[in-house]
Structure 1
């Protein structure tokens, strides 16, 4: 089948302003439905909208080892996804604070897909043979994913408040301020438990009034409240769907951690990590943690 011949069409210099449906329809009519291939000025609208030139200039591997580029790019992809996850968590928390349960459930649905995409980065990194990784590992120096401030903010937004793990950022004031803000803000789970109380669940007042910056102890009244949601409500009820949406998210994060552990063990065995940790032994302990703990233990009451 003969492909249509693109028309040569020149647009003015890229304009990041808005375009309407009517303008897009008029443009498609003027080009016969073919894409515009020529633009005035030093850039294109897509480069400017996505900052593509800046983005693609940020890959700076330290060695000539071929496997370092996929390692490097996947690390940056993870950081972008951490940022997206954190911003989505903030919005979900706001929706819960406003008792917009349906909106929060819908947002959790999308967030789980983002976490699945994040988990998929380990599928790429798992293709690095030990010899390929060792060819550039020394160039990492003391750099470690443990120092990722966006991931730390994600953990804090999920409710895993470990203040000591904010310490790597003490010497970077702008970063430390962001991490500190995430540490001190209520988590998504804090917002969900507060919502349960507003919906009539009998929650221990000490749990509702606790300092959100500290570790969150397990609470029997929260466990019973989630068990009642499962026992008394149908799967079509928004609170039931919220419980399952939160468990979906927690499970997704646990899968990410588990694959992290397996990928590291496959690549370096039991050697110490670059950031001073014991490596696999440290990750194994971390992978045993569960976000939203009472949602998991409530199953034992059903």
Structure 2
């Protein structure tokens, strides 16, 4: 018996014409919400206002790059705020989901620097003066992210004193527990007995490492099977910080590529200011604990010439 498939007949000729609209696709946008209305695209796409005179082609790239970053930062704040609330309610699993999403957002933000890096020094010089005193240093959302991750600095509030809403929002975050504060409180509630000085600290101050917290994380890393939830949370936070540092480094290298050692707009020192930020850390004990972890030698193993 033949197993050949039936002859489908001659194939229809391929058409280079545009695809027809499918029968079920909505057409009556007078009655129903459209894609553009849902996203408020008229507002979004009319928010780019190059200021250079005569108009410079590359200024639109600079504006969209930074506007896109601000949109991502808005989503980061949304996710981190939810993660803090979930940790306070001992809901660590959905909090991990929020943190995982932030990690993907960080990857997108970091990759964006490669787009801005196509801007050459001579192209940027043609419109840089029109930025006047505008600077990324004045991004209140970036400062809000730093506050939520624990890098608190009340002196930074002065930069935003001109805008009541931004200033008020940062003051609220200054007095709120950071994500790491919430994680440490959760760790204590799970029986890891953190120092009272850490749990009751002044949350308006930048977090400082504590040996008692290193000991608590050491127990977690010594027995990850027993403390898997805490172990997973620790590693997610390390990922979060590593991604932040990669973003900072790409920022530094992009700025250095475009303006060299010149001061930044808005009065910052430029590259030196960005380089100092690379020394900051949000979760210090999660790095300190790596020096405290003891190597485990398998039974019967006697080493060899290739040991490090």
Please give the TM-score of this superposition, normalised by the length of structure 2: 0.86
Aligned counterpart, 2:120: 129
Unaligned ranges ≥5, structure 1: 8-30
Aligned counterpart, 1:36: 26
What does the per-residue CA deviation read over 1:96-152, in whole Å, with 9 as the maximum and x for residues that have no partner?
Answer: 111112111222111100111111221111111111111111111111101000111
Aligned counterpart, 2:147: 156
Matches for 1:137-286 after TM superposition, within 5 Å = 137-234=128-225, 237-286=228-277
Aligned counterpart, 1:6: 21
1:54 partnered with 2:43: yes
What does the per-residue CA deviation read over 1:127-178, in whole Å, with 9 as the maximum and x for residues that have no partner?
Answer: 1111111111111111110100011100000100011112111121111111
CA distance in 1, matches of 2:157, 2:248: 19
Structure number with higher helix proportion: 1
1:103 partnered with 2:94: yes
What's the Cα RMSD here? 1.7
Runs of 4+ in 1 over 3 A off after TM superposition: 1-4
CA distance in 1, matches of 2:38, 2:88: 33
Give the deviation of 1:235 after TM superposition.
9.2
Give the deviation of 1:202 after TM superposition.
2.4
CA distance in 2, matches of 1:4, 1:73: 31
In the alignment of these two chains, the number of paired residues is 276
Residues 235, 241 of structure 1: 8 Å contact kept: no
Aligned counterpart, 1:79: 70
What does the per-residue CA deviation read over 1:168-215, in whole Å, with 9 as the maximum and x for residues that have no partner?
Answer: 111211111111111111000000111111111121101110111112
Query: Are the structure 2 counterparts of residues 172 and 230 from structure 1 closer, same or farther at C-alpha, using a change threshold of 3 Å?
Result: same
CA distance in 1, matches of 2:44, 2:19: 32
Residues 101, 239 of structure 1: 8 Å contact kept: no
Give the deviation of 1:36 after TM superposition.
2.5
Query: Rg: which structure is higher?
Result: 2
CA distance in 1, matches of 2:232, 2:263: 42
CA distance in 1, matches of 2:131, 2:283: 34
Give the deviation of 1:4 after TM superposition.
5.4
CA distance in 2, matches of 1:256, 1:106: 21
SS of the residue corresponding to residue 39 of structure 1 reads coil
CA distance in 2, matches of 1:51, 1:248: 34
SS of the residue corresponding to residue 300 of structure 1 reads helix
Q: 1:94 aligns with which of 79, 82, 85?
A: 85
Unaligned ranges ≥5, structure 2: 1-13, 294-308
CA distance in 2, matches of 1:223, 1:104: 22
Aligned counterpart, 1:26: none
What does the per-residue CA deviation read over 1:69-101, in whole Å, with 9 as the maximum and x for residues that have no partner?
Answer: 111001000111111101110111111111112
